[in-house]
Structure 1
Amino acid sequence: MVFRSAPLAHRTIRLVPGIALCLAIGAVSVAVGAVAPVVGTAIPAIALGVAVAAIRRPGPGVQPGVAFSSKWLLQAAVVLLGAHLSLQDVLAVGAESLPVMLSTLTVCLLAARGLGRAMRIDGRLRTLIGVGTGICGASAIAAVAPVIAATSGEIAYAVSTIFVFNIAAAVAFPLLGHALGLDAHTFGLLAGTAINDTSSVIAAATTFGAGALGFAVVVKLVRTLMILPISVGLALRQPRDSEASLLRRPWRIVTLVPWFIVGFTVMVLANSAGLIAPGVRGAMLFGSGVLIAVALAGIGLSTDLAAIRRAGWRPLALGAVLSLLVTATAVGALAVTGLRG
């Protein structure tokens, strides 16, 4: 037992420096948000992280904890947010967002295929950028990459491209929402359907104001489930004897469901059943806010300017056009369906 626990203890110790750095940046961002509520905590956390990474990119001693914070702590924050919502809320918001969500996803995938081909971008790379923009950023890219047998270079280019527009969306969308005169509910629908990564959805909704975060997260998680039909559809286009084909390993479909969606659903069900006391619920929501600040600091620290430069202008141009198309489609669909506040 001692020998088994030693590697776990070693891995845990390796996380400490990076987590400590993210905590420090997160604490500063929380202080900024307390002094200037209009600024919030999300944007300062990302901005400070990006600034630190630009001055000196986190080295091997810090990187494991930064990666842990940006991924696992953010996902834990999403799970805790489920304690604030009821099953009725989730079902209502999910159903309400479907027309907008399906419109943006359809436009994005068709445009990625057509524009990407016209711009002479490799088929696998344009598919990765399309699903990353249309569904849920790096998570969708990671899920789809083995299905289409994408190379590590293509994955890196796609993730770098998507990252640029994650950061831009976190800053631009609250401004857009206020310019359009949207209420918190409608902004949550817009952010959840038009911003590609969960972290940026949370950052934008937190910055916009109270009431938007819960709606935005629900919409985003429903949108994330689109990984399943898209992955299956792409798998059906692969040769049956391909090593990456889901048809050879259909059980892998289950593994495409992110664990934090399951955890979020469990929290929603527990809250709906009255199993979470009000005091506990308040503590969980506070904890979620702290984890969000720390995780967004980690995302800012993960900025790799060299990788973005290596991606070249074509993938970045495609990502920019797709992001603008998705945003325009979402705003248009909100207006057509009468959901715009």
Structure 2
Amino acid sequence: MDKIRLSKVLFIACLVLCATPWVGTAMALIMGVFFSLLLGNPWLQKSAHFSKILLQLSVVGLGFGLGLGDVIRTGKDSIVYTIVGIACTLILGYLLGKLFKTDKNTSALISFGTAICGGSAIAAMAPVLKAKNDEIAVALSTVFTLNSVALLLFPLIGHLLQLDQGIFGTWAGLAIHDTSSVVGAASAYGAQALTIGTTVKLTRAIWIAPVVIGMAFFKKSEQKAKIPLFIIGFVLAATIRTLLPQYGHYWGELAAIAKQCLVVTLFLVGAGLSREVLRNVGVRPLLHGITLWLSVSCLTLVTLVFFGVA
């Protein structure tokens, strides 16, 4: 059996294993990263495409595990932190871009991805800035690399500081870039953290649309932004659970399936961290991204610990 065929067989075997309860989110991510770096992902583009679809479906499925009241309450409680956090992150990102002399568009994309929703935010903002492919690739690579670190690091810090699940979930939702890493870190910490982290993250992601529209107006661009459909699906799922509580058992089953699908998703996310992605991350963008992310994470955590969640 040649190397390519062997890697395909092992890749499928890992996917099947991640679909079982024996593998958790952190382990799935580590498996994906090591698989990609050691054997190479045989379906790099396809797995990246399907990971996005599976993530969106999983997030919608998680909505069946929540009541609409919980979604509204959590979103309302975190709204001030979300607005202030986005504004401060964008300002700090701009200043750090000047400090590290990062390319203007790359700096803006990294800052926007850190402030709101990682790769989704970068993809939405790139046309407005008329960013080149290499600028988009560097920004995505930087954010993606830090996402992988956050998924493993945040639960360790949370346990070390003995954070309660409410604070941890809010912190993860506000300070981690992509939805996949938020739900991965939060689910590893606990069920309540997952509920809060996912809702806070999706509340944050809604801001993609108004910020992109604002930037388009400033840049005099015709680019339009829309609220991601999976956020609408998440709210609809929570609404269905609330309106039809008699089918609670089935909604719980759907939510459980969604959680396991997230494990598979994180394997695919980890398998996307290829050698090429690592090579795309230059020193200046990486320093910019790390400094911004650490600053936002630390300031958010200190604020939550001292002032708590409303």
TM-score, scaled relative to structure 1:
0.84
- Residue type matched to 2:24 in 1? T
Larger Rg: 1
**Alignment partners' CA distance in 2, 1:76 and 1:21:** 25
- Residue type matched to 2:207 in 1? M
Could you tell me which of 273, 283, 296 is aligned with 1:326? 296
**Alignment partners' CA distance in 2, 1:160 and 1:22:** 22
- Residue type matched to 2:81 in 1? V
**Alignment partners' CA distance in 2, 1:315 and 1:110:** 16
Does residue 8 of structure 2 align to residue 25 of structure 1? no
**Alignment partners' CA distance in 1, 2:154 and 2:201:** 15
Query: Quick check: 1:75–1:260 contact (8 Å CA) kept in 2?
Result: yes
**Alignment partners' CA distance in 1, 2:157 and 2:82:** 18
Could you tell me which of 293, 307, 310 is aligned with 1:337? 307
In structure 2, the CA distance between the partners of 1:312 and 1:332, relative to structure 1 (3 Å rule), is: same
User: Paired residue for 1:56?
Assistant: 39
Map 1:199-210 to 2 at 5 A. Answer: 199-210=180-191
**Alignment partners' CA distance in 1, 2:255 and 2:267:** 19
Could you tell me which of 215, 224, 227 is aligned with 1:257? 227
Does residue 210 of structure 2 align to residue 229 of structure 1? yes
**Alignment partners' CA distance in 2, 1:260 and 1:19:** 30
Map 1:80-159 to 2 at 5 A. Answer: 80-159=61-140
How many angstroms does 1:28 deviate by?
3.1
Query: Quick check: 2:172–2:197 contact (8 Å CA) kept in 1?
Result: yes
Q: Count the aligned residue pairs.
A: 305
In structure 2, the CA distance between the partners of 1:291 and 1:137, relative to structure 1 (3 Å rule), is: same
Query: Quick check: 2:138–2:281 contact (8 Å CA) kept in 1?
Result: yes
Unpaired stretches in structure 2, ≥5 consecutive residues:
1-5
Does residue 186 of structure 2 align to residue 197 of structure 1? no
How many angstroms does 1:234 deviate by?
1.1
In structure 2, the CA distance between the partners of 1:23 and 1:289, relative to structure 1 (3 Å rule), is: farther
Query: Quick check: 2:36–2:273 contact (8 Å CA) kept in 1?
Result: yes
**Alignment partners' CA distance in 1, 2:301 and 2:8:** 37
Deviations along 1:159-194, whole A, 9 cap, x unmatched? 000011100100010011112221112211110011
**Alignment partners' CA distance in 1, 2:204 and 2:13:** 32
In structure 2, the CA distance between the partners of 1:113 and 1:276, relative to structure 1 (3 Å rule), is: farther
**SS at structure 1 position matched to 2:191:** coil
User: Paired residue for 2:279?
Assistant: 309
How many angstroms does 1:100 deviate by?
2.0
Unpaired stretches in structure 1, ≥5 consecutive residues:
1-16, 35-39
Map 1:37-48 to 2 at 5 A. Answer: 41-48=24-31
TM-score, scaled relative to structure 2:
0.92
**Alignment partners' CA distance in 2, 1:19 and 1:226:** 39
How many angstroms does 1:24 deviate by?
3.1
What's the Cα RMSD here? 2.2
Higher helix share: 2
Question: What percent identity do the matched residue pairs reach?
Answer: 34
Deviations along 1:132-181, whole A, 9 cap, x unmatched? 11111100000000111111110000000001110010001001111222
How many angstroms does 1:50 deviate by?
0.5
